[in-house]
Amino acid sequence: MNIYQKLNEIHKQVGYIKKGQRGKQYQYVGSSDVLAVVRSHMNEQGVLLLPSIKNAKVSDFYTKTETLQLFTEIEMTMTWVNTDNPDEKIELDWYAQGMDLAGEKGVGKALTYAEKYFLLKFFNIATDDMDPDAFQDKVESSKPQEKINNEQVVLKVAKGRNKTEADVYKALKITDITKLTKKQAEALIEKTNKWVEQL
């Protein structure tokens, strides 16, 4: 595979990472959480990520409490390399920041954030408190459910296939047709229409 195909395979595998770290007021995805998920797929596909700093700037300022703060900014190049064909590379510009009181950790913080957010954004990884799909299902299930009465369609299909309505309900995993959600109803209609076409 070429490097784009390899990166696409990783993209398919890492759609979501749950926030596993807890701060004073919030939960967040730590760098180790991201690396633990992405690195194994990188190794499997044979790609390396090589970060390099193009430019760095450190600014100092004092807070209202007269505390010295050092603000580090770095401009980087993030390079993907295909280990099966090292001449095949993708270079991308990236930017990161790091804040520190003493100064010796600013660059390290910026590099850590750079790597974490580059991987999250490059692979479009969701980090919501809940898996986005599960969250959407929860939202849908909490809404007032639209009901539908599709008994005539089911009856028609059942007769055409020499089955009872109960057989159709069982095949579609329906316990009460009068309490279908809109999503279930649409799936039912789609499936029964296909069956009708086959009659």
Q: What's the mean per-residue pLDDT of the chain?
A: 76
% of residues, the chain, pLDDT over 70: 59
- Of the pLDDT bands very low, low, confident and very high (cuts 50, 70, 90), residue 25 is very low
Tell which CATH classification among 3.30.70, 1.10.357, 1.10.287, 3.30.390 matches the domain 3-133.
3.30.390
- Residue 79 CB contacts under 8 Å (≥ 6 apart), including other chains: 49, 50, 51, 52, 89, 90, 91, 92
pTM of the model as a whole? 0.59
* Gap between the Cα atoms of 75 and 97, Å rounded: 9
**Residues of each domain in the chain carrying CATH 3.30.390:** 3-133
DSSP 136-193: HHHHHHHSPPPP---HHHHHHHHHHTT--HHHHHHHTT-S-GGG--HHHHHHHHHHHH
Residue 136 pLDDT greater than 50, yes or no: no
